[in-house]
Amino acid sequence: MSISKSDLKILFSESGGVCAFPKCERRLVQAETPDDDAVLLAHVAHIVAESSDGPRGESPLSLAERNKAGNLLVLCTEHHTIVDGQPNTYGVAVLHQMKLDHQHRIQRLTSPTRPIAPPRHSSETLLSTLLPVTRLPAFVFSAPCDLDDAQDKEVREALKYPENRWEIAPFLIRERTLFAFHSLCDPSNPFRGVVDYAKAESVPSKQFWSTPEGQRRFVTLLNRSLYKYTSRLHVRYDPSHRRYLFFPSEPGKTRSVPYRTGTNKRGRRKVVWRPVTKITGEPKNHWLHLAAALRFQRVAEEQWCLSIRPERHLTVDGETPLASEKIGRRVTRLKAKMYNEPYLSEIHFWRDYLCRGGRKRMTLNYGAQHAMVDWQFLEFTVISPGIPGDSKPFSNQPAEDDLFDLFDELDPDWDASVNPDEDEDDDEEDTE
């Protein structure tokens, strides 16, 4: 479908015969000479590409809408090449704003006394990738320890692990002092093999994190809690990249896990698999693993959050990391496909899995103390011009508890069982 004459007239009238790229100001008509006619230097650029395979082409806009003046931009040759060659830098929102700024600039130059109608703005809700921490341990406990900072292994070997598999025991040793969220004053505490409970002390958490060093230690204890909690969910920590990722439960086999979908249905998701070439069906020479950077962060005086940043991990055989020089283009191609909707879906999967399948919170159990992370992302309301076609709803509300949920809450042995033969939801396509 071609661009109509009417849309071309509107487009060139609004452009003023000047390239719309910021600070370019290049005239788009080369004047005639005594020997030759004038030359048109303008390029009509699509904001959302005419084809779904083109730059910024993934959009619900129809073909007719893609060829309307509102989705078109007049650029010089150089800047048309740049915006199409760098679609991640010059995304849909950037080009819409570029078009709007250029129209206002042309209106000011051609009608300086006529008031310019302000752009239409609307209120919309932005979802962050932050889950609020609704409860923290009230105290941090400390006790003298004969071991030094480098002897964490000896402490782990001496630990008296709680019977409840979801009760975790993170610790930190600094200056021959062991710090923990468990009450070290309790004679039956998990660290009784390396500290004397009679010499234990407690400090209110707010006082503990009031100094830079105290805050660093508090964050370390929280992040070590995350490491121990995710290990119960059969998710590994990769210290070289500082992220958490899934590995096969059986060598060379696809792994899928249960979760609750964005529409509150129970489904499964592939978390480790060997992708295939879409055209031939032949398996590729690498495996994909779902991964995420998970961090506890203090965002206000008494407000802490858990941040989630979805990533990918690539291996040769489901275990051995792929050579770094072979990762770049593959990951870049995957990220180029991840616009708002798939990115939010990815974050939703992680929050649901961390909350053990649709629970309304993630609970870190330290015996007499707990930390709790809420299921709902922090939201922000903004006033903006918006992006045409970018209005797909996303639920930020937890599902109502049903009998299965109530049973799961009472079941300390909940596990993400492995069954790759189950139906899988939200599978990921990968093509060369």
For the stretch 148-206, pLDDT in tens is 878 788 888 888 888 888 999 999 999 899 999 999 999 999 999 999 999 999 999 99
Q: What percent of the chain has pLDDT over 90?
A: 38
pTM score over 0.95? no
Sign of CA dihedral 352, 353, 354, 357: positive
HSE-CB at 371 with a 13 A cutoff on CA atoms is 30
Helix axes 5-15, 92-110, angle to 10 degrees: 70
Structure tokens at 270: 């592939």
Asked if 353 and 259 count as a contact pair (C-beta separation under 8 A), the reply is: yes
- Distance separating alpha carbons of residues 270 and 254, to the nearest angstrom: 7
Residue 258 has pLDDT above 70, yes or no: yes
Burial of 298 (0-12, 13-18, 19+ CB in 10 A): middle
Q: Collapse the DSSP code of 50 into the 3-class scheme (helix H, G, I; strand E, B; otherwise coil) and give the result.
A: coil
Nearest to 73 by CA among 100, 54, 52, 108: 100
CA 41 to chain centre: 41
Residue 236: per-residue pLDDT: 94
Mean pLDDT across the stretch 67-73? 90
Helix (H) or strand (E) holding 244: strand 243-245
Residue 67 has pLDDT above 80, yes or no: yes
End-to-end CA gap in the chain: 28
Mean pLDDT across the stretch 249-275? 87
Helix (H) or strand (E) holding 13: helix 5-15
Banded pLDDT at 299 (limits 50, 70, 90): confident
Residue 430 has pLDDT above 70, yes or no: no
Which 8-state DSSP code applies to residue 182? S
Q: Return all residues near 322 (Cβ < 8 A) that are at least 6 apart.
A: 286, 314, 315, 316
φ, ψ dihedrals at 293, nearest 5°: -90, 120
- Distance separating alpha carbons of residues 352 and 358, to the nearest angstrom: 5
Residue 390: per-residue pLDDT: 56
Q: Where are the beta strands (DSSP E) in 28-185?
A: 29-30, 39-40, 43-46, 72-75, 122-127, 130-135, 139-144, 171-174, 177-180
Structure tokens at 292: 């995420």
Mean pLDDT across the stretch 327-355? 77
Residue located via tokens 């230690």: 217
- Distance separating alpha carbons of residues 350 and 375, to the nearest angstrom: 11
Q: Return all residues near 429 (Cβ < 8 A) that are at least 6 apart.
A: 278
125 or 25, greater pLDDT: 25
